[in-house]
Amino acid sequence: MDLKTASKEIKNNNPAAIYVCYGNEKYRIREFIDFATSQLIEPEHKDFALAQYDLAETPLETVIEEAEEIPFMVPRKVMIVRDSSVLTAGKDTKIEHRIDSLLRYMEHPAEYSIIIFWVQGEKLDERKKIVKALKSSSACILPFQPMGADELLQWLIRHAKKLECECSTTAAEALVQSAGTGLGILAAEMDKLCLHAGKGGVITVEDVQHLVARSTEQNVFALVEQIAAVRLEQALTIFYDLLKQREEPIKIAALIARQFRIMLQVKELAGQNYSQQQMASQLSLHPYVVKLAGEQARKFDSQKLRSILAHLGRLDYQMKTGAIDKVLGLEMFLLRLGA
């Protein structure tokens, strides 16, 4: 079952007995859990119907006993269970868990209890008996992996609509380029933009540029973008702004090298017919980062990218050994690259 179907079933008051949420998109997991609890529990029942556990502190059998116990004064209860070792390859805690208690419960789950496992890990440990049993049962397994580039932009547009604002695709792209791909930060920035625009307002690219501060990483990305477009004056302006913010030149050089390295890796993988999602998985990057790096990489051939990385490697050594002034060294690099 996918996330869309699971959400629809919950909305229709037909939830699964057990949900297993895992992946590195913690914001979306939290969003799903909040949605599920708001749909399944009446606000006035929350004190008696919602329970939270952490398997680092509570034995699994205690959670199962609570699930089997008839709820007090409420028709249904939801149990949110954080786990970092039972369903993953994480280190075992000091607490011993009786896994058989969950295996038995899965055969006849209580109609009045819903267990939501929030797995603190990127993936489940497929070797474990309990994971295999959950996957072959009626439990709802939901992976929360990074969204694709287009999906991320649509998520931002939907988030703006929830706040009764309108956001175009170009404004959403500008926001990602300024704030990065972290959903928590993006949501907070979108809240700020919608507050500025007001209900029924429209968020523009100019609003994003004026109200959203770029991180160092995003500034470096913009700097490389200006270099790729042969806009040396704008690239130097961003560089000098970074220096005014007291960013260390060695760090700036390292981030520039990282961006060119990603561009080379994406270019080579694209040449092997890897999809955007496959490249993101292979390089442990967000798909949107891969998309933008691919667009930048088209402006360079592979040999040129290798040459730039070799130059940056020599520059890094010279800067760290004092063979060249750090600021001057970076300026010369940017001027040569722009030329």
Q: Tell me the pLDDT tens digit for each residue of 262-296.
A: 999 999 999 899 888 889 888 888 888 888 888 88
For 184-330, strand residue ranges (E) read 202-203
Give the residue range(s) of CATH 3.40.50.300 domains in the chain: 3-143
Give the Cα-Cα-Cα angle 91, 94, 97 (nearest 5 degrees): 85
Give the residue range(s) of CATH 1.20.272.10 domains in the chain: 216-338
Residue written as token pair 């792209």: 173
Q: What is the pLDDT of residue 193?
A: 94
As a dihedral over the C-alpha atoms of residue 264, residue 270, residue 275, residue 276, rounded to 10 degrees, the angle is: 30
CATH code of the region 3-143 = 3.40.50.300
Give the residue range(s) of CATH 1.10.8.60 domains in the chain: 149-211
How many residues in total does the chain contain? Answer: 339
pLDDT at 337 over 90: no
**Phi-psi domain of 229 (left: phi exceeds 0; alpha: psi -120 through 50; beta: other):** alpha
pTM of the model: 0.74
pLDDT at 209 over 70: yes
Q: What is the pLDDT of residue 93?
A: 65
CATH tag for 149-211 (out of 3.30.2270.10, 3.40.50.1820, 1.10.8.60, 2.40.110.10): 1.10.8.60
Distance CA 306, CA 42 (A): 60
Read off the amino acid at residue 249. P
Q: Sorting pLDDT into bands at 50, 70 and 90, what band is 65?
A: very high
pLDDT at 8 over 90: yes
pLDDT at 142 over 70: yes
Residues 6+ apart with CB under 8 A from 118: 21, 29, 33, 80, 81, 82, 83
Query: Which structure tokens are listed for 272?
Result: 């092997």
Average pLDDT over residues 53-76: 91
Residue written as token pair 């949107």: 288
CB 67 within 8 A of CB 110: yes
CATH code of the region 216-338 = 1.20.272.10
pLDDT at 312 over 70: yes
Burial 222-238 (b: 16+ CB within 10 A, else e): bbbbbbbeeeeeebbeb
